[in-house]
A and B are shown apart, each in its own frame.
Chain A
């Protein structure tokens, strides 16, 4: 079997299971299912409110918060405008410091590269002959990028045991669950549910539900693996072009263990993660933790550059992942999507996410950022319902630390979805497109608009019913409009439009003026 086919085979296998935008149900369908889960909604309301309150407190104490947002936006915009240059600079400096840089066009290629690197590392470990079992194991630091490319199933298919070491990701892994939030992947679980999971999976029948006891159980479970397993895979928060360094921020210290103890470290990062200079972190390391977890600073900030003899990993690889990002870069109106620094503040602030949680988005990138990122990473071929999964309320834009105008991008992507759907003659069989075109024709003529108002009133009358107070209401509508009356009534249309009233009043005033010469108002 050629190397390429081998990579493809692994890619195919790796793609099975997990949140896959290509096979996920449309958002309204998945959302309706989530809405039926009362426990889930209680967990979501509680967790998002707690994080939002913490964020509000630490953002509120910053007198220069808006200036920091502006600076963050400027850094990210500049980076994207010169991404090619900064990526090559990062590669050159990283290699100079002893790292190895790999480029992956898509998820399958990235999976193939990581699996091969892990296999090579395992072979080296086997030759050392210290602990043969550990050579088949891999540590993971929380990384949404590796979730995006569905790395774990690919590693498992290649015969490796993968240990997620972030507490939340461990909860997800032990529960055969999926992440529902980019910063707090187990946000949809409450403490009792986590205790039950730990009791079952860690064989701890007496475990209590205090945060201390749960953390202690996870610590014992993980510590032993940190000391044994010689290969780790991480994501990255930032790649620093100027130095070739990589930055990972976290709250638990488990990441630090994975970054320092194993002999081989493989970092998978989207090409959007690059920042030009070390000093750019001055801005982003202020806004990221405050936006993400409501902390002034992350408890653990790890920055490393290549390898150093006798200190940390001996082998260090970076896999730079495109997977659709270059296409996003090419779309001037959607490019700002790549400015995202993955803080998750938009998810916590979103009133839609608050009700449905992350799984309804069918992607590891849920919430407002997911609604714009996922369909683009899918080349606008899948996840087409996501740009519509928003009321355009703007809460996401308001909290974004790099000022991504998510509503603007949502509107742009809606246009791309509609253009694709209605290309050519397809509009004939598309009731929505037909209705929209008809409405536009109506709005382009006062005469047609008046006629439509009259006809609408006549048609609507058929659906009016008198309520107990004697008012006319519509409580049930046919077709797509039934979505309205599924949860709401509709007050019957008035007998007169505003313009009809205006004209009637004008005549009355004119008559009165002609009659006695005094001005008569409308009262």
Chain B
């Protein structure tokens, strides 16, 4: 299959290794990955922070970039949730203003082909075994948007269980938010920090060496907290674990995407 990668703005800028990993996993499974160069941002930050006017123009931009894709893969559960929950209404609003005839219908058709990374594997491609090898103790943080908006359920963990060498440890209070919440982390930094403290305690209690998730935004927050408290536990996007093989260790992806 020819799969278009929507890397998302923050992964593009801050977590290129996740994109590299997505490309590697999908190519290993025999698919072709394309990257429409004009893509930027889904508009989640603006929309969720109250700046709806500023988010609106990003929708037609996304549609132009991806309208012809057979499937779109997005390694960020919150961005996919943004698109599924708000794009239909945004499209309607733009149509009403004029100059965007047929946008709502086009968005509806396109959204059927937009998949969060783990979802693409488990639901669209129907695979859980992707030939990965990662000999570490790993715990999986269920990002709220993945858990509640996308209903990923056991999907990400089923992929992890199929990784050779990997020991998956369940985390306590799995459904509890880590406290990131986009601009919430800055506007309500103290509460966000208190929520992070609880999440870190649960992560550390698993004894895992790596905490993974389907969303780098939660992981950036958890990673930052763990580093602040001098913990050796690392965070890694699910795609990076699935990209690891005997031949190329987990560090390979990070080395390749120049840090």
Contacts and interface: CB of A to CB of B under 8 A. Distances in A.
Interface of A: 27-28, 31-32, 35, 41, 351-352, 355-356, 387-395, 397-398, 408, 411, 414-419, 433, 436-437, 439-440, 442-446, 449, 453, 456, 467, 473, 475, 480-481, 483-484, 486-502, 521-523
B66 interface: no
A444 B7 contact: no
B50 A498 contact: no
A444 B40 contact: yes
Interface in B169-203: 175-177, 179-196
A486 B186 CA distance: 9
A502 B39 CA distance: 13
B206 interface: no
21 contacts: A35-B190, A35-B191, A352-B191, A391-B195, A393-B148, A395-B148, A397-B148, A414-B48, A414-B50, A443-B41, A475-B228, A487-B190, A489-B224, A490-B224, A495-B258, A498-B16, A498-B18, A501-B19, A501-B257, A522-B23, A523-B24
Given A446-B37, A446-B40, A495 B50 contact: no
Given A391-B195, A486-B189, A493-B14, A498 B257 contact: yes
Given A392-B181, A523-B247, 18 more contacts: A387-B50, A388-B183, A388-B188, A390-B184, A393-B181, A395-B175, A398-B148, A414-B48, A418-B49, A436-B49, A436-B54, A440-B54, A440-B57, A449-B40, A494-B17, A494-B259, A498-B18, A499-B7
A31 B188 contact: yes
A413 to B, nearest CB: 8
Contacts of B39: 446
A476 to B, nearest CB: 11
A56 B183 CA distance: 31
Given A443-B41, A449-B40, A497 B50 contact: no
Contact of A498 (B12, B192, B194): B12
The 5 closest A-B pairs by CB, nearest first: A391-B181, A488-B224, A487-B193, A414-B50, A483-B189
Given A436-B54, A494-B14, A497-B13, A446 B38 contact: yes
A523 to B, nearest CB: 6
B18 to A, nearest CB: 8
B20 interface: yes
B58 A444 contact: yes
Contacts of A467: 227
Interface string B78-119: 000000010000000000000000000000000000000000
B228 A487 contact: yes
B27 interface: yes
B7 A437 contact: no
B225 interface: yes
Contacts of B50: 387, 411, 414-419
A27 B192 CA distance: 13
B41 to A, nearest CB: 4
Interface string B49-66: 111101101100100000
Output the residue of B11, B186, B191, B221 with the most chain A CB within 10 A. B191
A393 B54 contact: no
A497 B186 CA distance: 24
Contacts of A419: 50
Contacts of B11: 498
A278 B20 CA distance: 60
A391 B177 contact: yes
A392 B20 contact: no
Nearest to B61: A444
B190 A31 contact: yes
Nearest to B17: A494
Given A355-B194, A501-B20, A390 B257 contact: no
Contacts of A390: 181, 184
A495 B58 contact: no
Interface string B10-38: 01111111111001100100000001011
A445 B41 CA distance: 10
Output the residue of A31, A473, A499 with the most chain B CB within 10 A. A499
A488 B220 CA distance: 9
Given A394-B144, A394-B149, A486-B189, A443 B256 contact: no
A415 B190 contact: no
B150 to A, nearest CB: 11
Nearest to A440: B54
B9 interface: yes
A417 B183 CA distance: 15
B57 A393 contact: no
B46 interface: yes
B1 interface: no
Output the residue of B19, B41, B187 with the most chain A CB within 10 A. B187
Nearest to B39: A446
A418 B15 CA distance: 30
Nearest to B85: A408
Given A498-B20, A501-B257, A388 B187 contact: yes
Given A390-B181, A444-B58, A453-B13, A28 B228 contact: no
Contacts of A415: 50-52
Given A484-B185, A487-B228, A501 B179 contact: no
Contacts of B46: 436, 439-440
A221 to B, nearest CB: 37
Contact of B13 (A394, A456, A480, A488): A456
B17 A488 contact: no
Given A411-B50, A467-B227, A501 B256 contact: yes
B223 interface: yes
B248 interface: yes
